[in-house]
Amino acid sequence: MVRWLALAIILLVPSGALPQVAGPAAPDMTQIENGMKLYRADGVDCEYCHDWRGVGKEHEAEFGDVKQAGGPALITSLMSREQMIEIISCGKIIGQRDRVMPQYRGDAWTAALPCYGKTLANTPVEERPVHGKRQMNPREVEAVVDYIRAVYQGKRMSVEWCLKYFPTSQRICDTLL
């Protein structure tokens, strides 16, 4: 009975009369460019681990009590937008504390913003990431994610974006040709 009623509604209600559920709005160029500025910003420094080209970087450095071994390539990332927002907001310890993604939201790991289904209260100390030097608000985290998805994910940095990234040092972009 319910199926027949639903079918009758679909057939009888004129197209466009039912409310449309909109997905998230596509980021605009300003949002993406703001994300690029944050990607490079002191205290955020995504390029330190992921490189300015998004190809990842191998290095060893101390980050809090964790020996950091570089960051993965963003160009090959299969993460969804939501997964990227969570990992940037919450950070993550990977392996035996040999890799770390810093936590960039100060309110992460709380009841209001649990991370990976947990809060600090139910997360062992060795699984807790270190804080990034600069904390970001939700809109800033989204801007960084929108930049990563627009410029890196599934592609290589273009000359056009390189020129935006290095407006005063354009010769470096010749390496992309």
| Cα 131-54-86 angle, rounded to 5 deg | 40
- pLDDT per position as a tens digit, 64-106: 555 555 688 999 999 999 999 999 999 987 766 556 789 999 9
pLDDT classification of 13: cutoffs 50, 70, 90: very low
CA R_g for the chain: 21
Which of the pair, 126 or 37, is modelled with greater confidence? Answer: 37
DSSP structure class, residue 16: T
CATH entry, 29-176, from 1.10.760, 1.20.1550, 3.30.70, 3.50.30: 1.10.760
* Range of lowest pLDDT (30-39, 147-156, 163-172): 163-172
Q: Is 142 exposed, middle or buried (0-12, 13-18, 19+ CB in 10 A)?
A: buried
Mean pLDDT of the chain: 82
Report, as an integer, the average pLDDT of 95-120.
Answer: 88
Half-sphere exposure of 30 (CA within 13 A, CB side): 1
Q: Locate the domains of the chain by residue range.
A: 29-176
* Range of lowest pLDDT (42-56, 74-88, 89-103, 154-168): 89-103
- First and final C-alpha spacing in the chain: 63
Residue 147, pLDDT > 50, answer yes
